[in-house]
Amino acid sequence: MSFQLHRNGQYLPCDLNKLRDMARKGDLAQDEYVYDERVRTWVGAAQIDEMKDAWNIGENEATVAMELSPEMLAMFDQQDGAAKVVQAASAAAKAPEPQRQSAPVPRAPEPAPRLPEPAPRLPEPAPRAPESRPPQQDAPPPRSDPPRPEPARSFGGGGGGGGGRKSNRAHGSVEDPVLTTAKNVICFIFAILWVMKRYDEVNAFFGEKRLTWWFLLIPILNLITMWKFFKSVNEMAQLVGANVPDRAVVYLVGQFCTGGILTFYLMQTDLNAIWEHMGAKKT
C-alpha cells in the first residue's frame, strides 16, 4: 500500500513502514493529512488503522546510548596494546628453536637465456573520421500532478497566531470565560449568539456541517444536538493534542442544574485551551 504527504509544496510518496518510522521520530503529527490511495482521499494520520499505535514506542524498542570520553578511549587503547605485547612474548617463548643448517655450496651461475628478437612492427592504420550523427533529443517524461488537497480554512476572529499553530485545521477565537458567562446569563440574546458562533467554529474545524443551532428549538432533538456539541469539544482536543479532559457529562449537568452558568464557563475555558494550543491569541 502507498500514501502521499504534502510537504513544502511537494508530494512525497510513502509506504506504511515509512509513516510509522516518521511517527516514532516525531516527524509526523497525528492530525496531519495523508493521502490514502486505497480509498483515494486525504485522511488524518491517526485515522489510519495501521497507524493508531505508531506514536507509542514500546519497551522492546527503547535503546540506551553511552558516550565514552577521549580519556576512556585512550585507556582502552593502552590496555589493548599491552595485551598484544604480552601475547607476542608468550608466542615467542613457546616457539621451537630453529635448527642450524650447513652453509650451501655456491653454484656456478647459469648462462642467461638468449631472448628472441622482437617481431617487426606493422604499420599503424590511419585514424577513422568520426561519424556525424544528428543529436538526439530525449522526449520529456509525461507530467502527472498528484491531487491537491483543499487548503484549510481559517475561522474569522482567530487572532494572529497562525505562525505557531500545531495543526492546519481552522481555529476559533480566544475569549474571557468570566465575561462570556456574565453576558450569556444577563442577556438571553448573547447566549444564543454565543452558541451560534461556537457551532460555526466547530463546523469550520471539522470542515463539515456537524451542528445546526436551530435544532435547539426542537424538543428531544435539542438534547441530541447539545450532547453532540459537548462530545465534539473532546474530539477536537484529541485531534490537536490539547490537554483538555472529557467533560461532556459535566457540561450537560451544568446546563440543567446551574442554568448554563457552569457550562458557559467550562466550555469557553476548554475551547480557549484548544485554540491556544493551535496557535491562536487572545483577542
- Note the pLDDT of residue 155: 39
* Torsion region of 260: left, alpha or beta (phi above 0 gives left; psi -120 to 50 gives alpha): left
- The identity of residue 260, as a single letter, is G
Query: Edge-to-edge strands of the sheet including 41-44?
Result: 10-14, 3-7, 33-36, 41-44
Give dist(CA 183, CA 275) in Å, integer.
Answer: 21
pTM here is 0.41
At residue 14, what are phi and psi to the nearest 5 degrees?
Answer: -140, 155
- Note the pLDDT of residue 63: 41
- Note the pLDDT of residue 59: 41
- Note the pLDDT of residue 105: 56
Q: What is the pLDDT along the chain (283 residues), one digit of tens a residue?
A: 588 888 888 888 888 888 888 888 888 888 888 888 888 888 888 888 878 788 776 544 444 334 455 676 677 677 777 777 667 777 777 766 555 555 555 566 665 656 545 555 655 666 676 566 655 655 555 565 555 544 444 333 333 333 344 567 888 889 999 999 999 889 989 989 999 999 999 999 999 998 988 888 899 998 899 899 999 999 999 999 999 999 888 888 888 888 788 889 999 999 999 999 988 877 6
- Cα–Cα distance list, 196 to 191, 192, 203, 237, 281 (Å): 9, 6, 11, 20, 21
- Note the pLDDT of residue 201: 92
Please name the residues in contact with 274: beta carbons below 8 A apart, sequence gap of 6 or more. Answer: 171, 233, 236, 237, 240, 242, 244
Q: Decide: 278 and 244 in contact? Cβ < 8 Å.
A: no
